A = this chain, B = another copy of it.
Amino acid sequence: LNKRKIFNDPVYGFVYIPYEIIFDIIEHPYFQRLRRIQQLGLTNYVYPGALHTRFHHALGAMHLTTEAIEVLRSKGAEITEEESKAVCIAILLHDIGHGPFSHTLENSLLPVSHENLSLHIMQKLNETFAGKLDLAIQIFKNRYEKHFLHQLISSQLDMDRMDYLNRDSYFTGVHEGVISYDRIIKMLAVDRGKLVVEAKGIYSIEKFIIARRLMYWQVYLHKTVISAEEMLLKILQRAKYLGLKGENLFASTPLRLFLENKITEADFYNNEEYFNAFMVLDDYDLFDAIKSWMNADDKLLSFLCRRLINRNLFKVSMESKPFPEDKMNDFRKKAMEFFGFNEAESKSVVFTGSTFNNAYSKDLEPIDILYKNGKTMDIAEASDQLNISVLSQPVVKYYLCLPKEILH
């Protein structure tokens, strides 16, 4: 390359492609596919600007990684060009295993975790690229001696989180998620092989943890988003049920494969056809099918699809305790009467679930603060005023979804 390739990014201005192999990976159909998978699924039903893709996020996280590497080097950390390239590849591909609405998909069509899939795809790409991803894979799997390189791509302060908070704030317009990512990155350092933050950056880290928490409650776990995603799950579960029964539903070829076959994780890895189908599956297959299913013969399926497409979503209540079973049964009876569903079907229109969030986890590797005297301390202890400890308590919320027609 005589001129470095640039991507336009409203969040950072420009994103440079630092290595030729990075550009080649981006051009690969596996990576281009991420252009067709939205980062936040159905969140745009609440925040209409939230249409950004996993493609853009992956580029952004890579951009922050190059900045972090530069800072660490300027403070004396030894990072070779090969290592730098490998970290960039690893962060670029850290989410490559995501399918459309991936958490939903895992619970309906395809029971394979996206982390395992990311690794699997990286290995496939490594064959294509003649072993050039070896080191990236080692770092991704945390098998490389310089632990801090892994922390850049996967930890409580990784470039993944850093980018998604920035990006999700920008596209949703929820300023509560805005973080001083540039300041945080400037404060990174390596201490005894681990990624640490200089003490000066403590307020920025506090704000980062709080911002993440606020984003959880305002965006990621927003009750309308939960409603839409749960409805999508019920739709896919119903479609799979019908598909396995042999009903002929409209679907693209790859989607049909996942609807009409019972697939275990083992099946998936043993059958190239499944893998190839997955690698062309995206938001378009699902949404085009759901639009068609508005006219499906199956009453429950068409009921759910019409409501989802026309944004006539189920109402959601949230509580700090589980909803009692008898209350659920009352509502289900109402749904059976009102809409004419049978008992089994009624469980797809009146249902509960729970969400979980902790802004900072004490079970994971801590964010360490580095003081001028050379000592380090977990942010949860270092931050005596804000009491990050309090934030590290997990918060569980229970929700109940149902059509508003049966509310009264």
Residues of A within 8 A of B (CB): 3-4, 6-11, 13-14, 27, 29, 32, 35-36, 44, 46-49, 51-53, 55-56, 59, 74-75, 170-176, 178, 180, 182-183, 186, 203-204, 206-207, 210, 213-214, 217-218, 250, 252-253, 280, 282-285, 287-289, 291-292, 294-295, 309-311, 385-387, 390-391, 393, 395
Contact = CB atoms under 8 A, between A and B. Distances in A.
A10 B172 contact: yes
Given A8-B174, A74-B4, A52 B55 contact: no
A29 B310 contact: yes
A296 to B, nearest CB: 12
Contacts of A218: 203
A32 B311 CA distance: 7
A180 B211 CA distance: 13
Contacts of A250: 252-253
7 contacts: A10-B170, A11-B49, A13-B173, A14-B183, A35-B44, A175-B178, A284-B287
A92 to B, nearest CB: 14
Nearest to A311: B32
Contacts of A386: 210, 213, 390-391
Contact of A285 (B11, B178, B283, B288): B288
A35 to B, nearest CB: 7
Given A51-B53, A206-B214, A309-B32, A172 B291 contact: no
Nearest to A294: B280
B44 A48 contact: no
Of A44, A46, A175, most B-chain CB atoms within 10 Å: A175
Contact of A46 (B8, B29, B207): B8
A49 B56 contact: yes
A9 B173 contact: yes
B10 A49 contact: yes
Contact of A10 (B171, B287, B289, B311): B171
Contact of A284 (B11, B74, B288, B395): B288
